[in-house]
């Protein structure tokens, strides 16, 4: 596995690209959630179909929910990128939550749900495979 050495404050840190990759994927998933939330809040024709699948849940409330999750994921992506130990913990938790929630829309938006599910699982793997980078 290739590593990159960063020197700063008198110490050397070895970093793999996987954690940076996880940060980018978390950011992409967060941005995706933000855009999905905005689309639901705007109540366009595509998101109106979700109202039937979500068992009477207000689609605007669902949109705000995804918007908030997306913003939180963008913050977590930054914490992962800066190698914060809080970012490691929150990254795994939020990727798990994101993957779980994507299952609810899998029958209406299968490509979106599968993409978010795949991104979330990849983030979890990348973070758990390289915990030593979060000192």
Q: How does pLDDT run across 85-118, given as a tens digit for each residue? A: 999 999 999 889 888 888 888 888 899 899 889 8
What's the CA gap between 58 and 117, in Å, rounded? 23
Q: Is the pLDDT of residue 4 over 80?
A: no
Which pLDDT tens digit goes with each residue over 118-134?
Answer: 888 988 999 999 888 88
Say which residues have a Cβ less than 8 Å from residue 64's Cβ, sequence separation at least 6: 37, 41
Is the model more confident about 2 or about 40? 40
Distance CA 44, CA 47 (A): 6
Checking if the pLDDT of 7 tops 70, the result is: no
pLDDT band at 5 (very low <50, low <70, confident <90, very high): low
Q: What is the pLDDT of residues 20-68, one digit of tens each?
A: 999 998 898 889 889 988 988 887 666 666 566 556 667 788 889 889 9
C-alpha dist (Å) from residue 20 to 65, 91, 93, 113, 119 = 27, 12, 17, 23, 14
Q: What are the structure tokens assigned to 39, written together?
A: 């689309």
Per-residue pLDDT, averaged over 9-28, amounts to 78
Overall pTM surpassing 0.75 (yes/no): no
Q: Do residues 79 and 89 lie in contact, with contact meaning Cβ atoms separated by under 8 Å?
A: no
Rounded to the nearest 5 degrees, what angle is found at the Cα of 82, between the Cα atoms of 76 and 85? 70
């Amino acid at each position: 596995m290739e590593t990159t050495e960063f020197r700063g404050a008198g110490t050397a840190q070895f970093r793999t690209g996987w954690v940076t990759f996880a940060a980018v994927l978390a950011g992409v998933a967060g941005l995706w959630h933000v855009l999905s939330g905005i689309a639901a809040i705007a109540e366009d024709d595509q998101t109106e179909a979700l109202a039937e699948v979500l068992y009477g849940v207000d689609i605007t409330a669902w949109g705000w929910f995804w918007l908030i999750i997306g913003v939180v994921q963008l913050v977590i992506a930054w914490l992962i990128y800066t190698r914060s130990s809080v970012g490691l913990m929150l990254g795994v938790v939020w990727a798990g939550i994101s993957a779980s929630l994507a299952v609810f829309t899998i029958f209406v938006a299968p490509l979106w749900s599968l993409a978010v599910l795949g991104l979330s699982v990849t983030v979890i793997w990348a973070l758990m495979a390289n915990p030593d980078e979060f000192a």
